[in-house]
A and B are shown apart, each in its own frame.
Chain A
């Protein structure tokens, strides 16, 4: 409760400052907002920072806006996961700001390619959602720690950045930016209604034989099936996010049997494939990403991102400066990362269904109606548009799953890299080839 009121005060401070008032509190408030150039502009105008990340995060428009606001150049590079890992490890100098998802951390930390971020350099830390700062929800409840939970991935044990710490320290692994809750997508018109799929176990229901799909990526594909098996009561995992070899074997065996029985229609490996499978009716239940669901809907085909009773699979991404940065360039990197969460980006990405790590700043760049729809789960008071102005939802629609903490507050397991990932890859290859 105390926390909540302090947040409100902060918000008020920023509002005041935005109106150009409150000169007295300018120092404090500048720190709170971030994004205002504190590095001398004449030194920075020749600086170029290369921001590399997945296509869902490294968006050209964000780079252009940052370049305009900051006075130095941000180059956005959208790359695939394996290219990102390869470049980060073998040509770390080719990236300045690494937009990594949490599952890249186990690969990259301790390799001397990422620079730990002193908490003091990140001005919005105190306003970041407690999921990242404390591992809890705003209501104080602790978040699930199955898989790689935010609290387990945010902090280095020391400034050398060799090991992760599972409790707050002075060194951040990355600045958390966006996060979301993933679940199954369905075609309500083809399964007989929105209420027909309620649990992960429906993914394996013989009713949908030949009409289901999984993502062709072992760590996520296996976890989705694990959620289903657990809810069907086949067995209970000690930690779905870190299975033992025996657990992997048991899971893969069932998957192979189901595949041979023709249960799966397809395994998709790109965003477009998942959209097309669903839109064409080849598949009626599948693991899916949130913007893919909206992409199907924007074609006028009903698609629903089902809030399942066992909860969601969560993920989060962040920005990490690369270790080769120094001097003015490093200052600019901090400047940019502070800008990143100062609102414009959060507002942009909210309209694709992702949440900002600092929602209060994103709110300034959304209309009240947009905020109500995307964050508060209220019925849309007006037509909802995507960041590029295309119609996404008609007036009156409600976001699948409701408000931010109804969705993010119900994470059963986080995306992760298992200790047995080598073994998992091998077994997954067996599954796909069987």
Chain B
């Protein structure tokens, strides 16, 4: 934004005729087309084209090893007829909703604390970096470390039994939906914290002071000032979390011990069995559904407008 404003100022400041002004604008337009070309090319080649191939293959026929170019709807018909599809989507969406809710509550509160309670910028930065420390190790290690912790003979169960809280190890802690959600929340909360932190940091502190002066309780100030003004951060964080959960197969497979499946893990089974066309059909439906979810979020919050604020 700042750069654009600057150019506008400069062109306004340039003394001269209107004709020259127009010429500069035309050049500027050409320049911006030129600027977006690399991104367009990259996206077209590495996203658009593969997506088209996936779409095409989803209509193909197949046998044990070959995919046969054809135009059949069987892959989609099978997908929509199978009750597994519904079950997989229900399960994935259930995970997405729960994880979204938990990470939102956590993310909002952590960001609020960092922005409004921590007074010095140095401490803010230090604590913010602390949040990111676990992310210096790989996703997989962070997730797998839950397994010995939550297991039947794991640290947590031993602690519970040792302190006499339970006398039987809690079995639901590992290889269960609970374990999956714990891992998701652990892995994805930062994706909520960062954008919310970013939008909260831009809130003018004097607004809160004004609210306080006008007699608003802290809760009311949060509800009517902080929350609306961090909408864009919440929306961006939600997009990250929802798409990450919907697109996951590894966490669900590992933490449920293979007891639960996700849309993508079922798709992987098909790919491993060389059944590309049904996998492609499943991918196409997945892309449509996730796009709709993201569109829904963007419909509620106009992120572009908020960011340009």
* A residues apposed to B, CB below 8 Å: 81-82, 85-86, 89, 106-108, 111, 210, 213, 216, 218, 259, 264-269, 273, 276-277, 280-282, 421-422, 425-426, 428-430, 432-434
Contacts and interface: CB of A to CB of B under 8 A. Distances in A.
A111 to B, nearest CB: 6
A434 B153 contact: no
Contact of A81 (B254, B260, B272): B272
Contacts of A82: 271-272, 274
B151 A280 contact: yes
Contact of B258 (A107, A280, A421, A432): A432
Contacts of A269: 253, 258
Given A265-B257, A276-B147, A433-B88, A85 B153 contact: no
A216 B260 CA distance: 12
A282 B258 contact: no
A433 B152 contact: no
B84 A268 contact: no
B175 A266 contact: yes
Nearest to A216: B258
B124 interface: no
A430 B87 CA distance: 9
B274 A428 contact: no
Contact of A107 (B82, B153, B274): B274
A282 B84 CA distance: 28
A323 to B, nearest CB: 15
Contacts of A282: 151-153, 174-175, 257
B257 A433 contact: no
B153 A281 contact: yes
A253 to B, nearest CB: 14
Chain B CB within 10 Å — which of A89, A107, A269, A428 has the most?
A269
A281 B87 CA distance: 31
Given A82-B272, A425-B275, A433-B91, A280 B260 contact: no
B37 interface: no
B145 to A, nearest CB: 12
Interface in B171-190: 171, 174-175
B257 A267 contact: yes
Contacts of B82: 426, 430
B241 interface: no
Given A85-B274, A422-B275, A428-B269, A107 B65 contact: yes
B65 A265 contact: no
Nearest to A433: B261
